[in-house]
Structure 1
Amino acid sequence: MQYEGRIFRPPSEARSLIVQATVGCSHNRCTFCSMYKEKQFRLRDLQDVLTDLAEMAGLYPDVRRIFLADGDALILPMERLEAILTLIRERFACCERVGIYGSPRSILRKTPEDLRTLHELGLGIVYLGLESGSDEVLKRVNKGETADEIVAAGLKVKAAGIPLSVTAVNGLGGKELWREHAVGTGEAFTRMKPDYIGLLTLLLEGDVPLERDYKAGKFELLGPEETALETLVMLEHMDCEGSVFRSNHASNYISLRGTLNEDKEKMMAQLRLALEGNAAYRKETMRAL
């Protein structure tokens, strides 16, 4: 099987067979992100993808999950996605789910019928990056879409019956916009009510533009306590009954996990304990992406 560059995938795809359907990210201009920088975005030749899948079917016929990489493989034209999913259905009898990253733009370009067709062919989860529910924060980090557009994309995925996983980034508004970021992100999650919510914490690496702003004094990072307060405010503005919530990534200062709204108060209590000095934060040297 061929694969170009470094591999990036959602944490929940750790045991999945990863097959590269596109190379790089179709946007790749977010100021905080260091992923895919060594790659020029392009669609892989369809026959190469199908050949890779056929080869892997011979080696790993019992695989239960497949993830189509790289960033935003959902941007592929429908005929390519249908061919890929059809081959997976034919050759991987044990496959229970195919996952994919989807940018708001690629989701909104697909019709409701397109998304339903992909779901019927086996697309079992779409990973969408919200990053922030604040339009000002999204503008500053060059996300390329507004909060309303991202929410609309998420709702479109859900309407097609496809499970939706959405991530946001603690600290993305810095000290200047932390409250706007917290409130707006909580409200955006409330509007989408994703099946899964993932909350990461900003960690700058790879000489990205936001790191240069930080070094120049134009952006102030949040510390552990400020991040805990931001998360608390975010949860206060979140009403997502049934959403699985995870903030237990290696980048997070405090590990939180639960199901909303059932475990909301418990997680908020954990944050208050930390803010009162009665719980430890992950050390800076132990944080990672």
Structure 2
Amino acid sequence: MHYQGNIIRPPSEANSIILQATVGCSHNRCTFCGAYRAPEQKFHIKDERIINEDIAFAAQYCRRQKTVFLADGDALIIPQKRLLQLCQQIRAALPWVRRISLYANCRDILKRTRQELAELKQAGVGRVYMGLESGCEQVLEAIRKGATANEMIEAGRRVREAGIFLSVTCLLGIGGNTYSRQHAQDSAALLNKMQPSQIAVLTLMLLDNTELGQAAAAGSFHLPDQVGLFQELRTLLAGLKEFRCQFQANHASNYFTLDGRLPKDRDSFLAIIDQALAGAVALKPEGLRGL
């Protein structure tokens, strides 16, 4: 495979064929993200010849892997015609693959019509990962996410209406101490309107090569302590209404793991969080946390 730069994929794509169709992120302005800051990861769509060679490699060596993840951070920016052709190539060369997944920027979703999203579903795109991070307008603006809360809701609904599994990430701590509670409450309210298929909760890791990390080092941004982060998680979870979805807080950045379904596992999850707040849960050591 012709990989370029850091290859990042969701935890649930650990066993997928990782096909790098784009390099970097077309937005790449979020103040907390340092994933694609290296010079060699300046955003571009990869050459078709290279992608075709990687598909041929997968056809020969990846017969046990049943899913494909299109990296990097924003594969949905690929023009519709070309993306459909790529999906068709994958399905022709890798007929055993049952699902194609990708990260999707909110604004790139909104550039697609409902018909175009339905065409992607028909072509094999079965899962879209969208970084919500927060439902709080002030936080979204501060971290330069590039979308409003209402735009996030509309983008999520379009994906769901196309019949595509929608996984949304929320980021504990991203509002700092200033917006901690509002971030959790507003995120729950937004998710109630969006009703994604999966909610994945991560915890902010401050990186030296990001504006937010530098602001924390300068004392102008204050990450909530462990208790504050656990309270955010509890407020978010308690604020979710009775819609069915997968709920995971099992990322390497989290201090402990929650993994199940809502609303079935809500009470047990809240009990675990309360135990963590009481100091009765073994937490992941700082040295084992990561991105």
TM-score band (shorter)? over 0.9
Deviation digits for residues 109-148 of structure 1 (CA, Å, limit 9, x no counterpart) = 0111111111011111000000000010011111111111
Q: Give the drift of 1:224.
A: 1.1
The aligned counterpart of 2:97 is 95
- 2: CA distance, partners of 1:206 / 1:217: 13
What residue ranges of structure 1 are gaps of 5+ in the alignment?
none
The aligned counterpart of 2:176 is 174
The aligned counterpart of 1:47 is 49
Give the secondary-structure state (helix, strand or coil) at the position aligned to 1:25. Answer: coil
Give the secondary-structure state (helix, strand or coil) at the position aligned to 1:270. Answer: helix
Q: Is the 8 A contact 2:185 2:239 kept in 1?
A: yes
Q: Give the drift of 1:16.
A: 0.7
Q: 1:62 to 1:281 in 2, by over 3 A?
A: closer
The aligned counterpart of 1:133 is 135
Bigger shift: residues 278-287 or 63-72:
278-287
1:30-179 matches, cutoff 5 A: 30-38=30-38, 39-179=41-181
Q: Does 1:275 align with 2:277?
A: yes
Amino acid at match of 2:5: G
Deviation digits for residues 8-47 of structure 1 (CA, Å, limit 9, x no counterpart) = 1111111111111111001011011111111111111233
From 258, 261, 264, the equivalent of 2:260 is 258
Q: 1:2 to 1:225 in 2, by over 3 A?
A: same
The aligned counterpart of 2:249 is 247
Q: Give the drift of 1:288.
A: 1.0
Q: TM-score, normalised by structure 2?
A: 0.96
Q: Is the 8 A contact 2:230 2:277 kept in 1?
A: yes
Q: Is the 8 A contact 2:67 2:98 kept in 1?
A: yes
Q: Is the 8 A contact 1:62 1:93 kept in 2?
A: no
What residue ranges of structure 2 are gaps of 5+ in the alignment?
none
The aligned counterpart of 1:19 is 19
Q: Is the 8 A contact 2:102 2:128 kept in 1?
A: yes
Amino acid at match of 1:242: R
Bigger shift: residues 47-56 or 154-163:
47-56
Q: Is the 8 A contact 1:189 1:240 kept in 2?
A: no
Q: Is the 8 A contact 1:61 1:91 kept in 2?
A: no
Q: Is the 8 A contact 1:228 1:254 kept in 2?
A: no
- 2: CA distance, partners of 1:259 / 1:125: 18
Aligned sequence identity (%): 41
Bigger shift: residues 45-54 or 6-15:
45-54
- 1: CA distance, partners of 2:164 / 2:181: 31
Q: Is the 8 A contact 1:165 1:196 kept in 2?
A: yes
Give the secondary-structure state (helix, strand or coil) at the position aligned to 1:4. Answer: coil
Give the secondary-structure state (helix, strand or coil) at the position aligned to 2:243. Answer: coil
Q: Is the 8 A contact 1:193 1:240 kept in 2?
A: no
Q: Give the drift of 1:188.
A: 1.3
Amino acid at match of 1:185: S
Bigger shift: residues 219-228 or 232-241:
232-241
Q: Is the 8 A contact 1:63 1:92 kept in 2?
A: no
Q: Give the drift of 1:62.
A: 4.2
The aligned counterpart of 2:6 is 6
Q: Does 1:287 align with 2:282?
A: no
Q: Give the drift of 1:175.
A: 0.6
Q: Give the drift of 1:266.
A: 1.0
The aligned counterpart of 2:210 is 208
Q: Give the drift of 1:209.
A: 0.5
Deviation digits for residues 138-173 of structure 1 (CA, Å, limit 9, x no counterpart) = 111111111111111111000000011000100000
Q: TM-score, normalised by structure 1?
A: 0.97
Runs of 4+, deviation exceeding 4 Å: none
- 2: CA distance, partners of 1:240 / 1:17: 34
The aligned counterpart of 1:236 is 238
* Root mean square deviation of aligned Cα: 1.2
Q: Give the drift of 1:240.
A: 5.0
